[in-house]
Amino acid sequence: ALIAFVLVPLALLSLYPLGVVGEAPQPAVATFAALGEPTMPFVPKATFINSTWFCGGVPNTADQTGGFVIVANTTDAPLVGHLTVYTDTVGVPATEQPFEVPPRDTWEQVLAEVQPDGTYLSAMVEIAGGGGFVEQQANTVAGNAVSPCSNSTSMNWYFADNYTLNGSSEDLVITNPFPDDAILDFTFASNDGTRKPQNLQGFPVPGNSVVVVPEDNLPKDEAVLAVTIAASRGRVVAARAQTYQGERTGYSNTLGSPSLSSEWWFADGENSADVIFERYSIYNPTDKDITVTTDFWGLNDFPEFVGYRTDVVTAGNVLSFTTKDFTGVPEGRHGMTFATEGDASIIVERGITRRAGEGFATTVVMGAPTVFSGYTRWSMAVGTDLAVDNVLVVMNLDFIDGTVAVKALGPGGEVPVPGLEAVPLPKSGIATITIPDQAAALGVPLIVESTQRIVVERLLPRGGELRGRSGSLALPG
């Protein structure tokens, strides 16, 4: 019988394998089970019979779009596994292939080379014995976007910052890696209230396939739009791809959050001439009003600045504001935290637009939830190919000064990057880190370790000749 596991953090620092074992007279289709609420992607540290990662999906069209998955192996032994690629072309089955990742190395696969059919392709990566971690990169003419792959499927997925204004396009990309159909219900929240379009209730997603929600079914001309995707049958993976126009520009590809959280943490905030706007969207998909306190982080040298606000986010609605709504925000970097009263839970995303050459570029990032607030180590399979400044933004969650070390994965294992062995990290502060022009530090996985609890975001070049950065959260662990 085939045994498969999905990994979920059951406590801040305690990760346990969870599984389902069954017997059948013939080879069984892989099944995945999770005892406990799924969360955003993390790097598991236990030993498992099998670990499974689900990648949200990349475009696959003729206009220079595509993407790949990458598996990073930080161990001293090879990793072997199995890649399954799903397509949104009706009637085309999933395509499979085995892979092997050498010790202290990576394995990368362009999805269109495995499955050429379809406008969107997604992937399931199974690793025998666990170990390693997986990310995807989507490549488009509007920019590239990196996203960690999910540790699990879920019955629920949430997005707080969807944008369909000024001709901007959005694709909700749903993957069903199981043989049976999934049935989904969609709920949208905006400044006009909550909507449940009839044609998106009981929405079917065939087994072993990708479905892209038709764009003409989504609300139009919305600057603030939140989404709940709830499965009445089955479990899926949900991602969002956006190509921006108007006051936003560029491209983002983001995995949704499979769960709510009472706290959210953001490292990459900034008040400077390069920042056009920094917007936060708070989504309350529950049936009760929730009080949320927002607080700036990392501004210890400005005690006169009033950097907090309290809002009531009504049941089922989304609230959005920019940092321009605060008076006297100090110049420079800052983080942002969101906390609810009691155990009430929400979703928070940040959209930030910065100048990029003669134009500007927007990137949207989901914050780090409460369950990630206990980590001192963060990892990324996709680092930077270019030696540029401010690639890493590190937020110190503790009220104690600390240091940060950046390591690069290579033939010798995790090796400290020269000059980045002990970067100062002020108490409850923010540090930005430039990756130097050293071959061993470029185009390889990066690991960030600290003496204190941290949150790490990365700002990668957008690709090609495009100026500006694409932001994403690293993986804790």
pLDDT of residue 220: 79
Q: Kindly provide the residue ranges of all beta strands, DSSP E only, lying in 41-192, ordered along the sequence.
A: 50-59, 66-73, 79-87, 95-101, 105-110, 120-128, 133-140, 143-148, 156-162, 169-176, 182-190
Q: Which residues pair with 364 in a beta bridge?
A: 351
Q: How far apart are CA 318 and CA 314, in angstroms?
A: 8
Please tell me the least confidently modeled range out of 23-27, 204-208, 420-424: 23-27
Q: For residue 395, give Cα distances in angstroms to 154, 424, 433, 460.
A: 29, 12, 11, 17
Strand segments (E) across 381-429: 392-396, 402-410, 413-416, 423-425
Q: What is the pLDDT of residue 64?
A: 64
- Is residue 283 pLDDT above 70, yes or no? yes
Cβ-contact 278, 199 below 8 angstroms: no
Collapse the DSSP code of 199 into the 3-class scheme (helix H, G, I; strand E, B; otherwise coil) and give the result.
helix
Buried b (16+ CB within 10 A) or exposed e, 24-50: eeeeeebebebeebbbbbbbbeeebeb
The mean pLDDT of 132-138, rounded to a whole number, is: 97
Residue 407 · residue 48 · CB < 8 Å: no
Residue 72: how many other CB atoms lie within 10 Å = 29
- The CA-atom distances, in angstroms, between 322 and each of 240, 244, 295, 369, 457 are 22, 18, 13, 20, 19
| Fold annotation for 263-369 | Hypothetical Protein Tm1070; Chain: A (2.60.290)
CATH architecture entry for 375-476: Sandwich (2.60)
Give the pLDDT mean for 465-469: 89
- Tens of pLDDT, residues 11-50: 333 333 333 333 333 434 444 434 357 999 999 886 777 8
Instruction: Give domain 156-255's CATH number out of 3.40.50.1220, 2.60.290.11, 1.20.1250.20, 3.40.50.1820.
Output: 2.60.290.11
* DSSP-derived pairing of the beta strands 182-190 and 193-195: antiparallel
Nearest to 449 by CA among 419, 471, 422, 429: 422
Q: What's the pLDDT tens digit per position in 66-107? A: 999 999 999 999 999 999 999 999 999 999 999 999 999 999
What is the three-class DSSP state of 167?
helix
- Where in the chain is CATH 2.60.290.11? 4-140, 156-255, 263-369, 375-476
CATH number of 4-140: 2.60.290.11
Tokens of 476: 């804790």
The answer, yes or no, to whether residue 199 has pLDDT greater than 90, is yes
**DSSP letters spanning 3-55:** -EE--EESSSS-EE--EE----SSPPPP----SS---S-----S--SEEEEEE
